[in-house]
């Protein structure tokens, strides 16, 4: 099994990797498929199903779909051009994507939130159609946004479902598909998890490209965090959630050096770093999936904690952190899920905490066994966590939840490093338990905003 570090950590836009980035990517793929058709479509339609319908408004899924059909992609989003395209669509009722003729698209008529039809492949389903001048369908494709900005057609998802997860292999030197295999390969090769992951990556890119890409990931994470730490105001969406990261950060900086500061204040630093990222995400800003947008703050918060607060930390080891975290994230995605709509927030913040714990344990000198233990502890103590965003917005409880995920990740790494790597619950068992728990979890608690805090907290 191989999943690139650049698949798990990728540039995107907020507020959601599955509900914003995914639909935009699906629309871009649909346009690409249209370019190969023998006809010229005159109109476009889109329908959103399952969680994409129930929380689509709060996640800007409608906006993302329109922008995708206009030719925009998450990684190359020009906000000014996007706003101009939306304004033109409102004025003309047409979209003009690159390489295609103008096509009719009236959002009020052609973009449908279908709350009654859940597509069979995944909770995040959408149907895109191209029509002729009379409105008859010429071409149709079903897409599923499976979390973290990953998108599959119905045919691709069906083909994946016929494979045995544990038998999936890739043409890389260390094709571990489970944590057990990862530890066995580490012991046999004498390599760290990060070095094995790097060797796999180098099958597809040069060392220079790998180094530059990893540096770019951290730079984008840090830029996002810095913007969040410098910005005040009210987040969009109608809940009137106030940005808090800047004010807390300012207070923490003012308290630095005081003799009476309590030791637990370090938790406030970690929380603030994470909240800064997720406030930027909630505002629709540029963000790095880690492994999703809703969980984007946990990994960079732990990296920032390590670099700024741990003696001896060095950016020289950043590749080891990111590669180790990606190795664990890949195992979780491969054997369970990183989608809140599929398995609840245990699959998002839980996965992020496991990745962050593994990365931190690696740069603090942990053995492969201790790293696997750190990831397991972090994931185990997020099991059962629901995804119940108030008003369908990636704000409450999502922003604070990333901070607590970072704190748990650091605690998990610290506990694991106090041991010798031997423990009762293997990471593979925690991942499988998360998958089973997600399967059994009520749909009310899987990013539909039909239960939990979403119905027990006033929406205005």
Same domain, 73 and 171: no
Asked whether residue 1 is domain-assigned, the answer is no
Residue 12: both structure tokens together: 């995107």
* Residue 164 predicted with pLDDT over 80: no
The per-residue pLDDT for 460 is 59
Tens digits of residue pLDDT in 346-375: 999 999 999 999 999 999 999 999 999 999
Residue finishing a domain among 140, 161, 182: 161
Same domain, 219 and 320: yes
Number of domains the chain is built from? 2
Tens digits of residue pLDDT in 170-187: 699 999 999 999 999 999
Same domain, 113 and 198: no
CATH number of the domain that 348 lies in? 1.10.4100
Q: Please report which residue ranges of 36-163 form alpha helices under DSSP H.
A: 51-54, 61-69, 79-92, 107-110, 154-161
The per-residue pLDDT for 312 is 95
Same domain, 122 and 185: no
Same domain, 328 and 219: yes
Q: Judge contact between 280 and 228, C-beta under 8 A.
A: yes
Is the overall model pTM greater than 0.85, yes or no?
A: yes
Same domain, 76 and 181: no
Same domain, 116 and 185: no
Residue finishing a domain among 161, 188, 212: 161
Residue 118 CA to residue 122 CA, distance in Å, equals 8
The per-residue pLDDT for 258 is 84
Asked whether residue 10 is domain-assigned, the answer is no
What mean pLDDT is reported for the chain?
Answer: 95
Same domain, 305 and 428: yes
CATH number of the domain that 125 lies in? 3.30.1330.90
Q: Judge contact between 436 and 384, C-beta under 8 A.
A: no
Tens digits of residue pLDDT in 21-48: 999 999 999 999 999 999 999 999 999 9
The answer to whether the bond into 92 is cis (omega within 30° of 0) is: no
Tens digits of residue pLDDT in 54-108: 999 999 999 999 999 999 999 888 889 999 999 999 999 999 999 999 999 999 9
Domain, as residue range, for 269: 167-456
Residue 81 CA to residue 13 CA, distance in Å, equals 14
Tens digits of residue pLDDT in 271-299: 999 999 999 999 999 999 999 999 999 99
The per-residue pLDDT for 348 is 98
Residue 192: both structure tokens together: 């760290």
Same domain, 283 and 390: yes
Q: Which percentage of the chain shows pLDDT scores above 90?
A: 93
The per-residue pLDDT for 1 is 85
Same domain, 294 and 365: yes
């Amino acid at each position: 099994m191989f999943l690139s570090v650049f698949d798990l950590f990728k540039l995107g836009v907020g507020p959601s990797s599955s509900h914003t980035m995914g639909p935009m990517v699906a629309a871009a793929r649909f346009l690409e498929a249209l370019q190969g058709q023998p006809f010229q479509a005159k109109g476009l339609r889109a329908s959103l199903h399952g969680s994409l319908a129930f929380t689509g408004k709060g996640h800007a899924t409608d906006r993302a779909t329109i922008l995708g059909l206009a030719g925009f992609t998450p990684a190359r989003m020009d906000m000014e051009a996007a706003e101009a395209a939306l304004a033109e669509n409102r004025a003309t009722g047409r979209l003009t994507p690159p390489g295609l003729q103008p096509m009719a698209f009236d959002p009020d008529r052609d973009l449908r939130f279908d709350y009654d039809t859940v597509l069979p492949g995944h909770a995040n389903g959408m149907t895109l159609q191209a029509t002729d001048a009379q409105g008859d369908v010429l071409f149709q494709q079903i897409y599923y946004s499976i979390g973290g900005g990953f998108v599959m057609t119905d045919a691709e998802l069906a083909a994946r479902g016929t494979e045995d997860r544990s038998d999936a292999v890739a043409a890389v030197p260390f094709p571990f598909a489970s944590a057990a295999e990862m530890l066995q390969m580490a012991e046999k090769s004498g390599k760290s998890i990060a070095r094995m992951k790097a060797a796999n990556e180098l099958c597809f890119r040069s060392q220079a490209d790998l180094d530059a890409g990893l540096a770019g990931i951290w730079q984008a994470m840090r830029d996002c965090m810095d913007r969040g730490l410098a910005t005040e105001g009210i987040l969009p969406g109608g809940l009137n959630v106030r940005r808090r990261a800047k004010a807390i950060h300012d207070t923490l900086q003012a308290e630095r050096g005081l003799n009476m500061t309590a030791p637990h204040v370090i938790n406030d630093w970690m929380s603030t770093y994470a909240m800064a990222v997720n406030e930027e995400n909630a505002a629709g800003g540029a963000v790095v999936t880690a492994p999703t947008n809703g969980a984007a703050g946990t990994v960079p918060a732990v990296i920032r904690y390590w670099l700024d607060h741990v003696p001896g930390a060095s950016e020289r080891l950043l590749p080891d952190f990111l590669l180790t975290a990606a190795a664990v994230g890949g195992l979780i995605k491969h054997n369970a899920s990183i989608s809140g709509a599929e398995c609840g927030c245990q699959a998002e913040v839980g996965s992020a905490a496991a990745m962050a714990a593994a990365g931190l344990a690696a740069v603090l000198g942990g053995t492969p066994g201790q790293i696997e233990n750190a990831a397991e502890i972090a994931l185990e103590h997020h099991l059962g966590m629901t995804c119940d965003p108030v008003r369908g917005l990636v704000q409450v409880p999502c922003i604070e939840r990333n901070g607590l995920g970072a704190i748990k990740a650091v605690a998990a790494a610290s506990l694991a490093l106090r041991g010798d790597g031997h423990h009762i619950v293997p990471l593979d068992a925690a991942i499988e338990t998360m998958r089973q728990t997600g399967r059994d979890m009520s749909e009310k608690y899987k990013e539909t905003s039909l239960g939990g805090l979403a119905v027990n907290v006033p929406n205005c």
